[in-house]
Amino acid sequence: MLWNKDVHLKILNHNNRFIDFYIVCPITNFEWYATSFDGFSNHNEKLKSCDLINSIKASHQHDNWLIFGDFNMILHETEKMGGNPIDINIFDNFHNTINNCNLIDLGYMGDIFTWANNQPDTHYIQERIDKFLATPSWISNYPKFYNNHLLRYALDHNPILLEFFANNECRAPKRYHMPRFEQLWLQNEATPTLFKLLGILVKERLLTSSRTLSIIFIIGERKSLVIFLRKSQN
């Protein structure tokens, strides 16, 4: 995990499922928590993700919180196409967890699905399992936000890009063309109150680990934060 010295950040806790950290915005002095999350992919372990989210929430001292990543669960029936029927127990538990933690789905722009199993014909499954969730307190400080589902290149996950702005910012959402993969790491169009967050999940064929969660924050000009969370397959 790397970040610029101008970013006021403290890592609170981490393991192979999450990195939980505390941020103080150097421009507005707004204090908030952020958590990069990678939920259990095994069907029989998905309820552990709900327990872990509740545990992370309980460790925070205030309600300014953004959590993001691959939850491996859906919030709505429309977020899944193909495959087995939705497991109502997991579905309801995820809903209850989000409600108990006072989290709100930040929505999306682009194609609804963020993951596909890349199997042929009737075996093809698509789901929206990569999300940004935030508390009302966080949203009240960054009321202008746009979660962009970007195009994927040889991956099973779409990159997701969140742009969010303070109250005094007024911007229209950008329309993303088809950039080269490398360009996602080189963009720096931030203003002093702009944060950019990029979550990328890639498969083993592109990186040495079986799955890597990478996030980029860009806080103002020449103020940057880069996070790499690498996990095992299980």
Could you confirm whether domain 2-231 is CATH 3.60.10.10? yes
Structural domain boundaries of the chain? 2-231
CA separation for the pair 67, 9 (Å, rounded):
16
Q: Please name the amino acid found at residue 85.
A: P
Per-residue pLDDT tens digits for 27-38: 778 899 999 999
The two tokens of residue 167 are 């109250």
CA separation for the pair 97, 86 (Å, rounded):
17
In this prediction the pTM is 0.73
Low-confidence ranges of the chain (pLDDT < 70): 1-2, 4, 154, 167-234
What is the 3-state secondary structure of the chain? Answer: CEECCCCEEEEEEECCCEEEEEEECCCCCCEEEEEEEECCCCHHHHHHHHHHHHHHHHCCCCCCEEEEEECCCCCCHHHEECCCCCCHHHHHHHHHHHHHCCCEECCCECCCCCEECCCCHHHCCEECCEEEEECHHHHHHCCEEEEEECCCCCCCECCEEEEEECCCCCCCCCCCCCCCHHHHHCCCCCCCCEEEEEEEEEECCCCCCCEEEEEEEEECCCCEEEEEEEECCC
> For residues 162 and 197, is the Cβ–Cβ distance under 8 A?
yes
CA separation for the pair 234, 41 (Å, rounded):
7
Structure confidence at residue 164 (pLDDT): 83
Structure confidence at residue 14 (pLDDT): 93
Q: DSSP per residue over 95-127, as a string? A: HHHHHHTT-EE---BS-S--EE----GGG--EE
